[in-house]
């Protein structure tokens, strides 16, 4: 005959119902505290999620103004409005949460900074004749520096939230340990006063419950592959099944979260149009390669690439065709460099290739290969371009021994590119 937990324990607990009720009350109070702590952890998780969204939007916030200065497309204003509304909503959501004094200070500063940065970008987006506008470029540079400071504040936002979450998780774990202590007290009472039932209770009640406790501790230590196997044909077996389902759900959530984090990190360094690395990645990677060059005394070269007469192509065929051209160009550049090289789109129709451990002669050879590959590729509508072909101009720069100035290296490549443009295009510029 099968009995549930209630049938098995009813006779044992009748004489000590008062003790049981008191213990149950304590457990319920602790569980309530755990639920409150869990809710607080979830709230902190939402704050972390909001700061992640804020960082991502801030990285994208300058794109409309940058693209407007390059293409003069007024539709970039609509994109700016969308990003602006999203950022203001995120900062508004963040202000609804409370934290320590530093959190409140950062919240106020960041809200003020968003307004200031928006004003700067609006000024850029409403400049007449934006293409090649020096004032617009200067304002964009100031906005970029200002945006970088905002990103660092958003990073501090995240650090504060993560610290608070760790503290709350620690508190929740402490409360869980209190529940465990109460549970052991109840078990001890049963063992002492019902010695005759010890074997029965040990086999069908205590041991399964300890398995549940051990499983909770194991999962709490991060082993989400752990599963319980309990065969008592009662509520404990049902609880073990629900426990396994809960762990499976948590494991799935963690996998999804890991994928989202990985995707977010990838998006932060990826150009959305071409799939190449973006300007942020270029600056960080070039800085890293310059340090490595200094440490090991290896050569380092970069190639700056610009599409010849791209504005003419855009004006003739529209921005969508221009985007298709940039995507195809990114594919060609990626296919015609080495696996150790890094191809980046740094803005508009400009691309940059980082060539680790490559001297000027080798870099020039690679650049010439890229130029020929582009010249020979059958781009759509290229017959309308000057000369009937779509071409690129390139500027090569190599870091000399002891060279630490990243901007100087980039400027050298830019000067070489200008030389190529000035002397006929579709070539690699060489500085005398």
Q: Which of 76, 349, 350, 357 is catalytic?
A: 349
388-392 contacts: CB < 8 A, separation 24 or more?
389/426, 390/307, 390/308, 390/313, 390/325, 391/308, 391/425, 391/426, 392/305, 392/306, 392/307, 392/308, 392/329, 392/426
What DSSP line would sit under 25-83, residue for residue? HHHHHHHHHHHHHHHHHHHHHHHHHHHHHHHHHHHHHTHHHHHHHHH--TTHHHHHHHH
Active site residue 177: no
CB 344, CB 286: distance < 8 Å: no
Secondary element (H or E) of residue 363? helix 360-376
CA separation for the pair 42, 50 (Å, rounded): 12
* Residue 231 structure tokens: 């065969």
> Assign residue 388 a region: left if phi > 0, alpha if psi is -120 to 50, beta otherwise?
left
Residue 156: count of CB within 10 angstroms of its CB = 15
CA separation for the pair 250, 185 (Å, rounded): 30
CA separation for the pair 69, 133 (Å, rounded): 7
CA separation for the pair 275, 323 (Å, rounded): 12
64, 69, 125, 318, 350 from 321: Cα distances, Å = 18, 19, 23, 6, 17
CB 201, CB 210: distance < 8 Å: no
Residue 374: which residues within 8 A CB-CB, separation 6 or more? Answer: 329, 332, 333, 390, 391, 392
Nearest by Cα to 140 from 70, 86, 89, 84? 70
**Distance, first Cα to last Cα, the chain:** 99
Nearest by Cα to 191 from 211, 176, 205, 180? 205
Residue 101: count of CB within 10 angstroms of its CB = 7
CA separation for the pair 114, 120 (Å, rounded): 10
Which residues are known catalytic residues?
349
């Amino acid at each position: 005959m099968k009995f549930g937990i209630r049938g098995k324990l009813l006779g044992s607990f009748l004489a000590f119902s008062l003790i049981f009720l008191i213990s149950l009350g304590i457990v319920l109070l602790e569980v309530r505290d755990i639920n409150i702590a869990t809710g607080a952890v979830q709230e902190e998780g939402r704050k972390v999620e909001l700061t992640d969204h804020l960082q991502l939007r801030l990285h994208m916030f300058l794109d409309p103004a940058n693209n407007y200065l390059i293409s003069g497309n007024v539709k970039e204003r609509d994109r700016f409005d969308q990003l602006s509304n999203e950022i203001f909503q995120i900062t508004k959501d963040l202000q609804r949460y409370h934290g320590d004094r530093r959190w409140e200070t950062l919240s106020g500063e960041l809200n003020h900074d968003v307004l200031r940065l928006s004003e700067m970008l609006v000024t850029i987006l409403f400049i007449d004749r934006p293409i090649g506008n020096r004032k617009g470029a200067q304002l964009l540079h100031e906005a970029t520096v200002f945006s970088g400071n905002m990103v660092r504040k958003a990073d501090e936002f995240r650090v504060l939230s993560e610290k608070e979450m760790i503290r709350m998780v620690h508190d929740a774990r402490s409360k869980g340990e209190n529940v465990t202590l109460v549970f052991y007290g109840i078990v001890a009472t049963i063992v002492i006063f019902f010695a005759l039932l010890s074997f029965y209770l040990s086999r069908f009640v205590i041991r399964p419950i300890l398995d549940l406790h051990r499983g909770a501790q194991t999962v709490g230590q991060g082993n989400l592959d752990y599963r319980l196997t309990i065969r008592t044909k009662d509520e404990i077996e049902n609880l073990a099944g629900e426990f396994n389902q809960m762990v499976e759900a948590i494991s799935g959530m963690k996998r999804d979260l890991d994928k989202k984090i990985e995707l977010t990190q990838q998006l932060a360094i990826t150009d959305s149009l071409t799939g190449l690395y973006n300007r942020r990645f270029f600056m960080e990677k070039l800085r890293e390669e310059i340090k490595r060059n200094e440490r090991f005394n290896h050569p380092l070269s970069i190639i700056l690439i610009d599409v010849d007469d791209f504005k003419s192509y855009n004006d003739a065929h529209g921005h969508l065709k221009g985007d298709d051209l940039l995507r195809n160009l990114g594919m060609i550049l990626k296919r015609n460099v080495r696996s150790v090289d890094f191809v980046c789109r740094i803005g508009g129709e400009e691309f940059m290739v980082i060539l680790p451990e490559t001297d000027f002669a080798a870099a020039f050879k690679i650049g010439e290969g890229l130029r020929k590959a582009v010249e020979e590729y059958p781009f759509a509508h290229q017959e309308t371009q000057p000369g009937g072909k779509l071409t690129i101009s390139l500027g090569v720069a190599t870091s000399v021994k002891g060279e630490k100035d990243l901007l100087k290296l980039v400027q050298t490549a830019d000067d070489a590119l200008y030389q190529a443009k000035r002397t006929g295009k579709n070539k690699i510029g060489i500085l005398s």
